[in-house]
Every structure is written in C-alpha cells, then in structure tokens.
A and B are shown apart, each in its own frame.
Chain A
C-alpha cells in the first residue's frame, strides 16, 4: 500500500528537499507514534505543495490523535483534493474516525472494502469494529438519534465546517431511510442540498 511505502521510504536517509522533506519527516514521526509532530509536518508539506497526498496522512494523524470530527473532515477534504491517493489503510483510519464521531453508517460503508485488502492485524481489528457497528445499527434508529445528527450538522455548518456538516446529514439521511416513517428524511435532503451548494460555492472561490 502507498502508506506503507511512504513509511518505508521514511527510513531512507536520502536528502529530499522542500515539501517532500516534511512529508517524510511526518511519516517518520507517524511510525514512531508521535502523531502530533507528524500532523504538523504533514500540514506543512500540504502548504508547501504536497497538498493532496499529505492531506490523507494528516487525516490519518487526526484519527490517531482522537480528534474524530477533525479527522472525518480531513478525510473528506483529502478525497476531494486527491481521490487517487486513497487506499485501504486510509479507509481503515477513516472508518475508525467515523465510528468515534458516531457516524456509524459512514464507518460501516468504509469497512466493506478494507477487510478484503488489509493485513491480518487490521483484518482482526476490522472484525471487532464491525461487530460494534452491527450492534449499533441493528435496531431501528430512534428519532432522538436522528435529531442529534441534525443538531450537530447545524452546529458544524454554523462553524463553517461544511464537510463535517455534510457527513452528519448523510448519516441522518441514512438513518432516516432505516426507519419505517423516514423520520426527517426530507429535512436531511434539503439541508444536504444547501450544504453541498455552500461547499461548491466555497470551492469556487
């Protein structure tokens, strides 16, 4: 996988200048478990020109730093910037972030592709997480849960975090579809359209 390749490359002592240097420094820190330092290096690499690639690593760092909402937002941003960089390990971290942010449908969707491509350790972890998700998603979602996602989406949108708002609204829409009464499904669709419009207008600027 690309991530593993980068981590291996980080062991090399070859002198690499500019953004690559920060990208590799970030990878080295990540491998050492120093996720805050790694995040800083990846973010600097993004700003110095390695935006798409480094964005995925930054998101992975955020997932490991127990900042799930920031991580979800960062993964969505990375996917927008460099969809080709996405791989199974990133999907795993993304799924963990979604789970920790209570975005269970998001996590469940991502895990579908991870299990088949990951190594034995990750496959084991995927199994555990999938069991948790099954437990969370098997009953019909209560209305209060759907309200909770709408509320958080609204807060995120007010804070200018349109990607995070979109994630919460997609979750609300998905959960509404799992209810017999499709509770607030129209609300979710309307809000999603508005958020996506906002997001596009921001990108346009």
Chain B
C-alpha cells in the first residue's frame, strides 16, 4: 500500500498519527520500531502499537515508523476499521477503503477485509488482483459464500462458464436469501456461457398473416417450424476477439415461398470485461426466402456501453451493405445505416428496463426505395424467480421514403410512401439446467399512405433451446 494512501486515511481521522515529540530522537525511534516488530511477531498487537506510536512520535520523518503505526492501529480495532472501510467504499472513496482493508490484512489474514477489497478490485475490472483476495476471503465463515459468488462472477466474465456454474452452485447450497437467488439465476446464465458455446433451438409457431396481406384482404395464417444452430467463440474471455456463427431456418407449413433462412458469421472485438465496454465487428449474412437467395449483406458494427451505477448508457452504430437478389427487391439494395442510443436501468435479480431511440437511413439504389426511419423503443425484463423470467418490448417506427414511384400520365403523381409501424411483444422463459423453454407472442400493426402496405399480424412461438459450453 502506498504511503500517501495510508496518510490520507490517517488524515481523515481513522487512525491519527501522534503529535511529534518536542525533541526528535531517530535512534530511540529505531529502537521503538524494532520493539514493535518483535511484539508484532509475538502477536502482541497492543504492545506493538504502543511501540510504533513512540517510533512515529520520536521520528515523524521515518516512513516505516508511520506506516507501522497506522497498520498496527488498524489491526487494533478491526471491527470498527472494517465498518469504516465499508463506509468509504459506499461513499465511492475506493482508495481510502483499500488503504484500510490492506492495513487490516497486513501481516495476518482477514477474510472480511479481503472480501471487500476483492469486490472493489472486481468492480474496477481488475480480476487478476481480485481473484487472490477472494480466494483468501473464502476462508471466512461469514465471507465465504460472498467470496465464492464474486469468484464465480470473475469466472463468468472470464469465460469460464462451467467453473462459474460450479461456484454459483456452491453459493446456492451454502447461502440464503438474495445472495442464493442471485447465484441460482447466474448459475443458469453460466451454464449457457463460456469461451466456446454452442446452442441449438427448435420451435414451432403461428403467424396470422405470413404474407403481410393488406387490411381488408385475405390474410394467410400459417404454422411453422424452425431450427437454429449458434456458435460463439471468445478465446480470450469476454474482453477480446470473438467469432460467432448462426444458422436459422424456418419452414412454413403452407406458404413455402415464405420459408426464411438466415445464415451468417461475425468477427469482432470487445474491449472491457465489465459493464462498461466497447465493441466493433464485421459480419456477413445470407438470407434465403422461399429457399432462394434473397439478400447478401456485409455489415460493420461499432458501439459501446457505459455503466453508471444501476443505469447504463449505450449506443450502437451499424452499416449494412446489402444486395437484394430478387427482381422485386433488387432496387432496395444499398447501404442501410442505423444508430441506436439508449439507456437501461437495472434492478435486483437481473431485471431491467431499457428506453431507446432508433434512427435509420436506407440509401438504396433508387430514391423511391431509399428512406429514413425513426422511432422510440422500450424493453423490460423481469426475473420472476432465479430460473423464470418474463420480458416485454414495444417499438414505434415512422418510415418516410425519399420519392414516390413514377406514374404514367395521365395518372396523377403519387405521394412518397410513408409508413408507421407499431410493434409489441412479450415472452416467458424457464431455465431447466442447460435447457430453456420459451413461449412468445407479438403483434404488429403497419399503416401506410400507400395502398397495399397497411396490414397487421400476430405471431406466437413455443420452443426449447439447449446450450453447451465447449471450453
């Protein structure tokens, strides 16, 4: 621990350095210091404190004497000092808190102080420093469960999904109340996490209007079955490079021309293991419609998240360079750029609310296929129990195209197309070890100033997924 940190703690009245002696005596101070060291070695903290106090008094310039006195002073009233350290931690004075915790641990184990110091290091994202402290804290009967909880969080952040799950399981077995609930919840998350994860999804659904038939027309309801295979690799843990691959295919029972296939891969880098991070990636995707190529797209993405206590600000920018492959859609080829800023508020047990805004510019081949899109977004997620959660989301998008489609005289000119779309949906998810059961419903209403583009549709899906950490 640095001397300035110690002195800062002392200056705040935690353990105050003694008034200097009228006549400094470095030789006596050195003798007192040696006596203090001997008494410390004999586990006689009270006598050591007296000796160190005299050493600091007779030679205030002796850094070793000052430090020894402050350390002994801290160790002399550990409960009070621990409370003081926690108060400083709560007030955001991390350096002051660490100074106190380190003094409590100087020369002897103090699991409680090690726990809180480890938590500070963890929150600072310094996992290498936090890990040995939390290992030390495991020895304490009162601090053991919390230490294992934070060790599990480090493993989770570091990509050790199985190790994290095992530690969370120990916490569940040994703790009670909120800590046990959080551990149970995060154990489910850990089972689906890791540096290498593969997951498989199977679901069945119903779409009330799979062809987007306009209002008043003949809607085409249809059922479907879908499967998805997803692979994620993070060789260096949460912070560092990542590679993702995704293959999704949904087959309609009747409207086979609406069968949807989405295949893609992403290569990117995330900087930051904590709640604050930045990322950037490149992706390539192929979309099939009716088993035929529909869209080929390159996509660049960059963004970040900045945690501020329970709140977090985020922004993501994406540029998609798309090439539509069907005659009807070819003129929509171009560059689609989107920006999504937002703010999230986290509550206990992994519950959160998100409010955001979407801005999009689709610069397509033609003015009549190019558009601006804007609108708010909202989402909420609530953990009902550690393994049961519900989520809801809603969004409004106003889209305005740059120009109207051409008309043949004497037909009157048309207005550029303008649509408003409202979407809302909800889901219920239940974790069963590595399986997740999911039921979801959504409803979308699209109104347009252009005939044939106003429609509504409802969808329902029920599915199950399985995730496995590879390493």
Q: Which residues of A contact B (CB under 8 A)?
A: 22, 36-37, 39-40, 43-44, 47-48, 65, 67, 70
Q: In the complex, are the beta carbons of A40 and B32 less than 8 A apart?
A: yes
* Partner among B35, B39, B42, B50 whose Cβ is within 8 Å of the Cβ of A47: B35
- Cα(A47)–Cα(B35), bound, Å: 9
Nearest Cβ distance between residue A151 and chain B, in whole angstroms? 20
Instruction: Assign chain B's interface to a size class.
Output: 10 to 19
- B31 touching A48 by the CB < 8 A rule? yes
Q: B27 to chain A: which residues have CB within 8 Å? A: 48
Q: How far is the CA of A112 from the CA of B47 in the complex (A)?
A: 33
Taking the complex as formed, is B46 at the interface, i.e. its CB lies under 8 A from any CB of chain A?
yes
Write out the residue numbers on chain B whose beta carbons fall within 8 Å of the beta carbon of A37.
Answer: 50
- Can you name 9 extra interface pairs (CB under 8 A) apart from A44-B31, A47-B31? A36-B44, A36-B46, A39-B47, A40-B32, A40-B50, A40-B54, A47-B35, A48-B28, A67-B44
Contact yes or no, B51 A43, CB < 8 A: yes
Number of A-B contacts (CB under 8 A): 35
Determine whether B402 belongs to the interface, using a CB cutoff of 8 Å to chain A: no
Chain B minimum-CB-distance residue to A70: B42
B8 sits at the interface (CB 8 A): no
B residues in contact with A47, CB < 8 Å: 31, 34-35
Q: Provide the residues of chain A in CB contact with B11, threshold 8 Å.
A: none
Query: Once bound together, how far apart are the Cα atoms of A71 and B460, in whole Å?
Result: 83
Which of B's residues lie within 8 Å of A, judged by CB?
Answer: 27-28, 31-32, 34-35, 38-39, 42, 44, 46-47, 50-51, 54
A22, A39, A43, A70 interface centre (most CB from chain B within 10 Å) = A43
* Whole-angstrom distance between the Cβ of B25 and the nearest chain A Cβ: 9
Inter-chain contact A40/B44, CB cutoff 8 Å: no
Q: How far is the CA of A65 from the CA of B39 in the complex (A)?
A: 13
CB distance from B33 to the nearest CB of A (A): 10
Closest to A42 in B: B35
A65 to B44, CA, bound (A): 10
Most buried by A among B32, B35, B54: B35
Set of chain B residues within 8 Å of A48, measured between Cβ atoms: 27-28, 31
Which residue of the partner chain, among B35, B42, B44, B46, contacts A44 with CB atoms under 8 Å?
Answer: B35
Contact residues in A for B46 (Cβ distance below 8 Å): 36
| Distance between B238 CB and nearest chain A CB, rounded to angstroms | 47
Q: Are A22 and B28 in contact (CB under 8 A)?
A: yes
What residue in chain A is nearest B32 (Cβ atoms)?
A: A44
Given contacts A36-B47, A37-B50, A70-B42, contact A43 B35 (CB under 8 A): yes
- What residues of B have a CB within 8 angstroms of the CB of A22 in the complex? 28
List the A side residues contacting B32 at CB < 8 Å.
40, 44
Report chain B residues within 8 Å CB of A39.
Answer: 47
CA distance A115 to B187 in the complex (A): 73
Q: Is the CB of A40 within 8 A of B28?
A: no
B44 cross-chain contacts in A, Cβ below 8 A: 36, 65, 67
Bound together, the chains give a CA A40 to CA B42 distance in angstroms of: 13
Contacts of B54 in A (CB 8 A): 40, 44
B352 to chain A, nearest CB (A): 56
